[in-house]
Chains A and B, each alone.
Chain A
Amino acid sequence: MDAAEVKAHVRVYVLVFSALAVLTIVTVAISYIHLPTPSAIAVAMAVALVKAGLVAAFFMHLASERHIIHWVLILCLAFFAFVMFLPLGTNLGIEPLWPLSR
């Protein structure tokens, strides 16, 4: 990225900061509405994902990054998703693959 491109990006950085600040206030405001827990989790995570996407895309320059970095992250996020959904299996009545007793 050359100096002229960076200069054009500075305005974007300020806009992203404003968006992050507003979304933080939105998240806190929603928490005071006292939604049912599953809805509250869904809304809070959705806002957090948008905020994380803004940081990654603009501050970390993922929007204009090379594909090899994208592939590293896609692989990483696949494992991350697996790790995140693994505990939910304990609550779905799925039989264990390796029972403790025969």
Chain B
Amino acid sequence: MSAIDLPYQIEPHPVTGVTSGKLGIWLFLASEVMLFGSLFSSYVLLRVGSGMEFWPSGVEAGLNVPIGTFNTMVLIGSSVTMVMSWASLKMNKLGAFKGYFATTIFLGALFLVVKAFEYSDKFSHGVFPWVGWPEAGDPSTFYALYFTLTGLHALHVLLGILPNLWLLVFGVAMWETDRERFTGRIEIAGLYWHFVDLVWIFLFPVLYLL
């Protein structure tokens, strides 16, 4: 072991039973739950405080449900390709890994492109976080939450795509030198990506459908 090697990257720690990387990503995801939890809590506070009759549904506020549904399918699809890319490595199929992983990155990018179109449509109608949809009951509060929640989520998607791209282009060289460690890295990248999908599973009905 060289001076810069961290212990328990491949073999599980004798006390925790998991690798340091896996415990680390789960602790990070726990903090992410609280980050999004505080924003969901703000949503509940503002919605309950405004009175049900003053809160527009996503459709009333001008959101496009079919586009939101399409993006949900895109993100769910990216989650299954991500887990399949990890499974391919476990089965020693590097070619299949590259295909699934590249598809995951493509679907993540597609999600962001669709989101960008949604944002530009809102901006072109004069809808901003501080303005809102003119015909809705309490639009500025709704859109302040919409842009904050979806913006933070989109940032998480982008921050998932970038390391995934690095792993696909450069990090994959580790497959030749240390297969187990590379597989572990993909598993950790996958846990983050599934969490991003999981957040959207709640954001979609809360913002678009209710």
Evaluate contact between A44 and B205: CB separation under 8 angstroms: yes
Instruction: Determine if B92 is an interface residue (Cβ-Cβ < 8 Å).
Output: yes
Instruction: Determine if A94 is an interface residue (Cβ-Cβ < 8 Å).
Output: no
Expressed in whole angstroms, the minimum distance between the Cβ of A61 and any Cβ of chain B is 8
Evaluate contact between B210 and A10: CB separation under 8 angstroms: no
Residues of chain A within 8 A of B173, CB atoms compared: none
Evaluate contact between A10 and B26: CB separation under 8 angstroms: no
Residues of chain A within 8 A of B91, CB atoms compared: 3, 6-7
Residues of chain B within 8 A of A17, CB atoms compared: 76-77, 79-80
Expressed in whole angstroms, the minimum distance between the Cβ of B148 and any Cβ of chain A is 16
Evaluate contact between A83 and B34: CB separation under 8 angstroms: yes
- Asked if A55 meets B48 with Cβ closer than 8 Å, knowing A1-B90, A16-B80, the reply is no
Interface size class of B (residues with CB under 8 A): 35 or more
In the bound complex, how far is the Cα of B77 from the Cα of A37, in angstroms? 30
Instruction: Determine if A102 is an interface residue (Cβ-Cβ < 8 Å).
Output: no
Q: A60: which of B38, B42, B73, B191 is its contact (CB, 8 Å)? A: B191
Instruction: Determine if A77 is an interface residue (Cβ-Cβ < 8 Å).
Output: yes
Residues of chain B within 8 A of A41, CB atoms compared: 210
Instruction: Determine if A90 is an interface residue (Cβ-Cβ < 8 Å).
Output: yes
- Asked if A87 meets B41 with Cβ closer than 8 Å, knowing A60-B191, A66-B16, A72-B26, the reply is yes
Evaluate contact between A24 and B72: CB separation under 8 angstroms: yes
Q: What residue in chain B is nearest A7 (Cβ atoms)?
A: B91
Instruction: Determine if A63 is an interface residue (Cβ-Cβ < 8 Å).
Output: no
Residues of chain A within 8 A of B37, CB atoms compared: 79-80, 83-84
Cβ contacts A7-18/B at 8 Å (1 or 0 each): 101100110110
In the bound complex, how far is the Cα of B73 from the Cα of A83, in angstroms? 29
Residues of chain A within 8 A of B206, CB atoms compared: 44
Question: Which candidate, B121-129, B133-141, B193-201, is the interface stretch facing chain A?
Answer: B193-201
A positions within 8 Å CB-CB of B: 1-3, 6-7, 9-10, 13-14, 16-17, 20-21, 24-25, 27-28, 31, 37, 40-41, 44-45, 47-48, 51-52, 55-56, 58-60, 65-69, 72-73, 75-77, 79-80, 83-84, 86-88, 90-91
Other than A28-B209, A84-B40, A88-B48, give 8 A-B pairs with Cβ distance below 8 A.
A17-B77, A17-B79, A45-B205, A52-B201, A59-B82, A67-B17, A69-B26, A80-B33
23 A-B residue pairings within 8 Å (CB atoms): A7-B87, A13-B80, A13-B83, A13-B84, A21-B76, A24-B69, A31-B210, A40-B210, A44-B206, A45-B205, A47-B205, A55-B201, A56-B198, A59-B80, A59-B190, A59-B194, A60-B194, A72-B27, A72-B30, A73-B26, A83-B34, A86-B45, A88-B48
